[in-house]
Structure 1
Amino acid sequence: MRALPLISDRSPDDVLAWRPDGPVSVGLYLSQVRSLADRLPDSRWIVNLCEDRYHFAVLLGACALSGRVSLQPSSQSAQTLQQLEAAYPGSIAVTDDPGVSSASRMIPLPALDALPVHTDANMPLIPEDRTVAILFTSGSTGSPQPHAKTWGKLVANGQAEARALGLIGQSRVLVGTVPVQHSYGFESTFLLALHGGCSFWSGKPFYPQDLADALSRVPAPRLVVTTPFHLASVMASELPMPPVDRWLSATAPLSAELAARVEAASGAPVHEIYGSTESSQLATRRTCHGPAWTLMPGVRLEQEGDITCAIGGHVEGKVPLSDLIEVLPDARFVLHGRHADMVNLAGKRTSLAYLNHQLCAIEGVRDGAFYLPRDDAEDRVGRLVAFAVAPGLDRQTLLAALRHRIDPIFMPRPLMLVEALPRNSTGKLTRQALEQLLEARAPAREADAG
């Protein structure tokens, strides 16, 4: 079986990461990976909870080198960790949070600077069929659903993204606002650094000021790996930002209007990534240049009826996609909404993504989302509900503006004004979070109905 390098086409003196105390070379990273691999607990399953992107990278490299598997949950709640412990007996969680007390199945990451120095200058090789990471999505039951990733596919993943974005031979410093455990952050900060010739900032800035500070700590050219939610926050803040060479967005649809505002304000192009945890990243587009996506090298789509599957390249197997897709010539396609987001009321059809776009396009609306409740007792679809963050607007004004944009059958009953939407660390709104928000507002629903 073929073996592939831990890092592609880099010398020991090249910079792999940037930390608050300065750059980290490839050579130092490899030394710390080897030392940590010798000190990991005797368990096949390592739950990688490290928030610092560099700590995460060292722990994953140590797992890959030693034959262990990095489990990467999208949530670090006690319930999620209990579910992982039950599904992977003997698993050990490793954290870099000094505020977390050590438990029987959780240990602190050793101080990397105190690890013995390894002098082996050879690049470690890892069998391409070795499973080195398992990423998770939440299924309909809320239990983590595993998606195993082999080393060969991960290497091809990072290389495919670099080629798709035109980064071959054009190194960038990656500054990510998304967690590295999440598939998008994992691919577009960690893999793009290891196998796309880039380096990365170790932190995870969230607020616009945090992002400005992080950008000021790393040299140009800079590529920001972020989400529509964070981009909207940056635009609303009007904070001056150090020069950005490119913006990359994923996890939710990005409107052409917001992309155009970001490009006008920063002078840098905005690109999007399309994919999923199940399929890995599949395609890219420059949002302002139209709706069509271009598949990454080696990836192709196969269709049977309304179902589209991704296959080839770095995709693990043949993966059904959750979107309605129109395949175009020249490895391109257009999305027409998610299967689960399609709304069919009184014979008329639309998507929640379209309704969300119309709501958020109203002047004064900072954030908003439609939600389609379901009557579980009778398995019937309920009336549409909408939530809006719109300081300075009253409900009737907002409803009047919405009536000009959407068919009356899709008007929300009720429309609720809220201070903020319960987005997670990647800017996503889960169905469960919207259900809880609706339940919390239950006493006011009658007053909110319009």
Structure 2
Amino acid sequence: MAAQPNASTSPIIERDASAPFAYLSTPLAALDLQPGLVSCAQFCQHVQSLAQYLPEHPYAINLCENRYLFTVVFCAVLVRSQTNLLPPNKANNTLLSLAEQHPSYVIHDGSLEYSLTNNTPKVDLSQLVPGLAPFTSTSLPRVTNHHIAAICFTSGSTGQSQPIVKTWGTLSAANHHNARFMLSDLSQTTYQIATVPGQHMWGLETTVLMPLVADTVMSDAKPFYPSDIAGLAAQLPKPRLLVSAPIHLRALVNAGLALPACERILCATAPLPQVLASQVEHSLQGKVAEVYGCSEMGSMAVRFTAESQTWRLFDAFALNQLQTGHSQATASHIDQSVVLGDFLELVDEHHFRLTGRTDDVVNIAGKRGSLAEINRILLQYEGLEDGVAFLPPNKKRLAALVILKPGHTTQGLADYFREHIDPAFVPRPMVAVPQLPRSENGKLSHKAVLDCYQRTRPT
């Protein structure tokens, strides 16, 4: 199915037509599909069929919740030489703002209600009855490398979410780098389970784009609860691949369920404690590969966290230490360099260690401390389900929002902290909350944390 090399274009899919591409856990009326396997040839037919149906607008706000439909839409948009808009969230004001800035249409699968009140055209794939017209071709056209395939957005974890332009050339090249360094030692067709959404960079690269080039079968589902993850895994053949985030892996381990084996677990979006990585490997009988990256550069390094704290940089990337102490990243497939938000210790040209974030140093009572290190210690407390330590505005002490396991108290957590850090950095207050305002990717934005603190702090 792969086309001949061409410097100015790249193929959308590079898999054998008969190879399995996706596993569907639910019927899809728009494509006249029942649960089960979908081949690469069928996927190409679905993309071509949908491409004929799309409105004549240069941008598509892709809101499909079903991962397979999201991928079909993403590629159909490319076939039509349009651009995917992948908003940072699905709040109505966010969608309205996006639609006002770009001549676009909204396409979704009916799983959520969108109350956009402007004249933005809307395509609901769940209402396509009896479905799309069949298309017989089992190949897809090549896409020019300079075509803007998607506009993604930063997570907003440290401030306002910012747009990131991704050309097809960049995404296509990244796809090959990612498959090589994340999956190179897996020799068989791997069946994928993902707890993260495909709309954001981590899920987009690994669960939507990677199956276009790697011998990986995506699943259309996005299981949330540990029992759902275990149930979906039990439906899939071995070997299995789990794509997740630390918060989801922590919940999976804490659930204490008997879990089907996963040969590889890919994890990103937040630091993964080494203890948790070891627990996950024991529970899932597989190796945890933690991936480092950022929205601007995509995935760029990997480490097997249970064994080592040193990162292996992908070959396409290079790091340069600036006089300020910051590190600048460049890549052969990305036009612009990026100054990273982490302090790095460069071991050699292919390896580095993280030593802290550039924005996480706090001064308390004349002492300097690292928020990243304080949060690492917090997350290792055995009585914790989830938590975050932070410095509220105009305050001289840290605070924390925590979810404690039954039988544990904030006093017990404070005692634990005093055994591990200077008393000046023990958060006060520690506010017990029912849940943290994490995004679907498991991330916490600074604004969401402060808003939650304002609502729940003691008066």
Same fold (TM over 0.5): yes
2:60 — aligned with what? 46
**Aligned pair 1:266/2:284, yes or no?**
yes
Q: Tell me, what secondary structure is at the counterpart of 1:302? A: strand
Deviations, residues 2-50 of structure 1 (Å, cap 9, x unaligned): 2111111x22111111102111111111111112111111111100101
Question: TM-score, length-normalised on structure 2?
Answer: 0.90
Q: Secondary structure at the match of 1:287?
A: coil
Match of 2:32 in 1: none
Task: Please say which of residues 422-431 and 66-75 is displaced more in the overlay.
Answer: 422-431
Q: For residue 99 of structure 2, what is the aligned residue in structure 1?
A: 85
Task: Please name the residue that 2:442 is paired with.
Answer: 427
Counterpart residue type for residue 337 of structure 1? G
Q: Which residue of 2 aligns with 1:16?
A: 21
**What amino acid maps onto 1:208 in structure 2?**
P
Q: Secondary structure at the match of 2:175?
A: helix
When the two chains are superposed, the root-mean-square deviation of aligned CA atoms in Å is 2.0
Aligned-partner residue type, residue 241 of structure 1: L
Gaps of 5+ in 2: 1-6, 26-34
After superposing the two structures, state which structure 1 stretch, 95-104 or 382-391, moved more.
Answer: 95-104
**Cα shift readout 1:297-352 (whole Å, capped 9, x = no counterpart):** 21111221222121113445211211111111140111112112222334432221
Aligned to 1:152: 169
State the alpha-carbon separation in 2 of the partners of residues 68 and 222 from structure 1. 34
State the distance in 1 between where 2:388 and 2:74 align. Answer: 36
Q: TM-score, with normalisation over the residues of structure 1? A: 0.92
Is contact 2:347-2:353 (8 Å) kept?
A: yes
Identity %: 35
Q: CA deviation at 1:438?
A: 1.1
The corresponding residue for 1:95 is: 108
Change (3 A) 1:307 1:363: same
In the other structure, the counterpart of 2:306 is 288
- Mean CA deviation greater in 142-151 or 197-206: 142-151
Alignment partners' CA distance in 1, 2:239 and 2:409: 44
Q: Mind listing any 5+ residue stretches in structure 1 that lack a counterpart?
A: 376-380, 446-450
State whether residues 46 and 92 of structure 1, in contact with CA within 8 Å, keep that contact through their aligned partners in structure 2: yes
- The one-letter amino acid of 1:59's match is V
Alpha-carbon spacing, 1:311–1:371, altered in 2? closer, same or farther (3 Å): same
Matches within 5 A, 1:370-389: 370-375=389-394, 382-389=396-403
Aligned to 1:340, what secondary structure does the other structure show? coil
Pick from 114, 127, 132 the counterpart of residue 115 of structure 1.
132
Please give the per-residue CA displacement for 1:362-416, whole angstroms capped at 9, x wherever unaligned.
Answer: 23122221011123xxxxx642111222232233232122111111221212122
Change (3 A) 1:98 1:17: same
Matched position secondary structure for 2:269: coil
Task: Give 1:34's aligned residue.
Answer: 48
**Aligned equivalent of 2:419:** 404
Q: Deviations over 1:157-179 (max 9, x none)?
A: 11111111215754311211001
Alignment partner, residue 448 of structure 1: none
- Any residues of structure 2 matched to 1:4-403 within 5 Å, and which? 4-8=10-14, 10-20=15-25, 21-88=35-102, 90-100=103-113, 104-105=119-120, 106-109=122-125, 111=128, 114-137=131-154, 144-165=161-182, 166-167=184-185, 169-305=187-323, 306-375=325-394, 382-390=396-404, 391-403=406-418
Partner SS for 1:225: strand
CA distance in 2 between partners of 1:218 and 1:250 (Å) = 23
Q: Does the residue aligned with 1:358 lie in a helix, a strand or coil? A: helix
Distance in 1 between the 2:414 and 2:115 partners? 52
Query: Cα distance, 1:262 vs. partner?
Result: 1.3
Local SS of the residue matching 2:381:
coil
CA deviations over 1:85-116 (Å, ceiling 9, x no partner): 2221x211111125526854232126498222
Report how many residues are paired. 437
Letter in 1 for 2:77: C
1:188 is paired with a residue whose SS is helix
